[in-house]
């Protein structure tokens, strides 16, 4: 590996924000391990990068401790170290389901992907960052404005994004002795497959259905790259990136 090329792991890299961030990092000169459940989607992400990009697709279910361990073993074997983890893999869970009708299985699935998956990846990255030389690295967690202003019928998603903030703070504190920085980006209304329905109408706090403005996922990716490019002596602890006119600031 080029001594000047840093290595990153991006989860949920097969689509949406993960794909945009992986491509932006590659364009900025990073080597990028692409993690996600669908091998064909990861290969598609890699094919979109430039010819000089160094991409490593690793099919991974982030809810599986064994698969997460295998992911970071592959990264260590290929690149020798990991400088960045973008904890991005996530799911909204079933849409339009009232709280009282949400099954325990659906709740557990959202918690497993959004929270446990992020913990397992952060734990594996932490172990490698602590042991490698030079020591240290950066973890960026994908939060959500939903942790501050939830949507109706989003209890599992919202609860996990609140928990993500606790994970971010704990990682920041526990990483200090080892030059491991951790920050969080809270995203609102990036245009992805998961948010396509917002263009036609989503339930508002007052019970109305209304279309909402979206922003390009590439705008999110630019912010993640800026956070990643900081020296480890500096950290963006929390950043909010959102469609300018989305109904987040104000009364609904």
Q: What are the residue numbers of the active site?
A: 157
Strands 209-210 and 202-203: antiparallel
- Sort residue 207 into left (φ over 0), alpha (ψ -120 to 50) or beta: left
Q: 77: which residues sit within 8 A by CB, 6+ positions away?
A: none
- Residue 150's SS3 state is coil
SS3 224: helix
Nearest C-alpha neighbor of 95 from the set 170, 202, 4, 6 = 202
Q: How far apart are CA 49 and CA 54, in angstroms?
A: 9
Phi, psi (degrees; rounded to nearest 5) at 236: -85, 105
Looking from the CA of 134 toward its CB, the CA atoms found within 13 Å total 8
Q: Which of 45, 36, 112, 109 is nearest to 67 (CA)?
A: 36
Q: What does DSSP assign to residue 151?
A: P
- Contact indicator for 55, 46 with CB cutoff of 8 Å: yes
The number of helix segments (H) and strand segments (E) in the chain equals 7, 11
- Report the distance separating Cα 252 and Cα 247, nearest Å: 7
């Amino acid at each position: 590996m080029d001594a000047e090329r840093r290595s990153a792991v991006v989860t949920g890299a097969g689509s949406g924000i993960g794909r945009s961030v992986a491509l932006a990092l590659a364009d900025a000169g990073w080597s990028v391990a692409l993690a996600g459940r669908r091998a064909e989607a990861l290969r598609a992400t890699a094919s979109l990068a430039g010819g000089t990009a160094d991409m490593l697709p690793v099919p991974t279910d982030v809810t599986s401790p064994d698969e997460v361990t295998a992911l970071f073993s592959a990264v260590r074997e290929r690149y020798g170290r990991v400088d960045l983890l973008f904890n991005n893999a996530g799911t909204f869970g079933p849409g339009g389901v009232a709280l009282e009708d949400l099954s325990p299985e659906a709740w557990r699935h959202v918690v497993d992907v959004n929270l446990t998956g992020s913990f397992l990846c952060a734990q594996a990255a932490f172990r490698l960052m602590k042991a490698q030389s030079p020591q240290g690295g950066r973890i960026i967690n994908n939060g959500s404005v939903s942790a501050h202003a939830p949507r109706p019928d989003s209890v599992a998603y919202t609860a996990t994004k609140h928990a993500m903030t606790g994970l971010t703070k704990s990682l920041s504190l526990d990483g200090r002795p080892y030059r491991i920085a951790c920050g969080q980006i809270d995203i609102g209304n990036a245009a992805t497959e998961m948010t396509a329905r917002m263009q036609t109408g989503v339930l508002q706090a007052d019970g109305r259905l209304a279309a909402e403005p979206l922003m390009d996922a590439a705008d999110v990716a630019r912010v993640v790259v800026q956070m990643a490019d900081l020296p480890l002596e500096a950290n963006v602890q929390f950043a909010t990136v959102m469609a300018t006119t989305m109904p987040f600031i104000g009364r609904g």
